Amino acid sequence: MINFTKYHGLGNDFIILKDKYLSGFDYSALAKKICNRHTGIGADGFIVGTYNVRPEMAFYNSDGSRAEMCGNGIRCFAKFLHDEKIMTENQFSIDTLAGPQLINIQSLSPFSVTVNMGKPDFKPKNIPANTKNGKHKERITNVPLIVNNQTFYISSLLMGVPHSVVRVNSLQETDLNLVGKAIESHEWFPNRTNVDFIEVITHSHIKMQTYERGAGLTLACGTGACASAIMGNYLGYLNKEITVELPLGNLEIRIDSDNSVYMTGPAVKICEGVFHE
């Protein structure tokens, strides 16, 4: 039996466990079991918390694959740390595979937190990505890709995890599952990629949905919102401060003068219980 807690950030849901209860477990295999929506608890992702000098978040997708970071997940983990009274101050850092992330709690009711998500990396070798097109050796921006007899323009970067931003005229009129799956596993991306579909409303407002590698189409993606803001600003159609509208609410994204990206959004505790492994 394993004690668990479940949280969500704008509908992107996560099971959070403490590592001290998981001795001897294969985290990848456990993630697949516990995230299964039919035979497990059900979630988009699985977080294992470790507490040494400072807290560490180990993140797994629902298919058992390890990811470097998760924007919605780290907001939920921050609330978990506060709820469990593990971290009592309003500012602290959480270690991840993508490096330490600085947390600033803005309010407790409703819970809102700002995360310094770091800086983007446009180098294709670091994403990693290879379009096999020489002119995109430095940055992958607006590269055409044909999916389902339609041409989509792909712009890729590393925002802790690999993201490919795809601007569409209408989210509602795009087959996000079909196109997302095709791009996620395309040969250009040896480690797969998250796919962010964005519909631009104004220079400071977009609608977005993400097809997440290892999880499929989700209701929210924090790193995807940051990646979309960065790429839209770089390509000239978005301001440095924008609202990212998601199916269940908004994230506020700000790009600083040094290209650091800050994400502000909510986190909500859903339930706690016991999982019979």
Backbone angles phi, psi at 44, to 5 degrees: -80, -25
pLDDT score recorded for residue 130:
87
pLDDT at 21 over 70: no
**Cα dist. 20→49, 50, 65, 236 in Å?**
9, 8, 21, 47
**Which is it for strands 91-94 and 101-108: parallel, antiparallel or unpaired?**
antiparallel
Backbone angles phi, psi at 167, to 5 degrees: -85, 130
Report CA dihedral (179, 14, 128, 259) to the nearest 10 degrees: 100
* pTM of the predicted model over 0.85: yes
Residue 267 host element (H or E): none
Burial of 171 (0-12, 13-18, 19+ CB in 10 A): middle
State yes or no: is 76 an active-site residue.
Answer: no
Report CA dihedral (254, 258, 259, 261) to the nearest 10 degrees: -40
* Residue showing tokens 């977009």: 206
Q: Where are the domains of the chain?
A: 2-116+266-275, 124-259
Distance CA 173, CA 157 (A): 25
pLDDT at 271 over 70: yes
Tell me the average pLDDT across 188-209: 97
Higher pLDDT, residue 1 or 274 = 274
Tell me the average pLDDT across 211-232: 95
Distance CA 159, CA 90 (A): 24
State yes or no: is 226 an active-site residue.
Answer: no
Catalytic residue among 35, 76, 221, 226: 221
Q: Which CATH architecture has domain 124-259?
A: Roll (3.10)
Catalytic residue among 70, 76, 226, 271: 70
Give the pLDDT confidence of 22-42 residue by residue, as tens digits: 777 899 999 999 999 999 999
pLDDT score recorded for residue 276:
85
Do 2-116+266-275 and 124-259 come out as alike in CATH topology? yes
Give the pLDDT confidence of 58-76 residue by residue, as tens digits: 999 999 999 999 999 999 9
CATH number belonging to domain 2-116+266-275: 3.10.310.10
**pLDDT-above-90 percentage for the chain:** 88
pLDDT score recorded for residue 189:
95
Question: What is the rounded average pLDDT for all residues in the chain?
Answer: 94
Tell me the average pLDDT across 217-233: 96
Give the pLDDT confidence of 123-153 residue by residue, as tens digits: 999 999 988 776 777 899 999 999 988 999 9
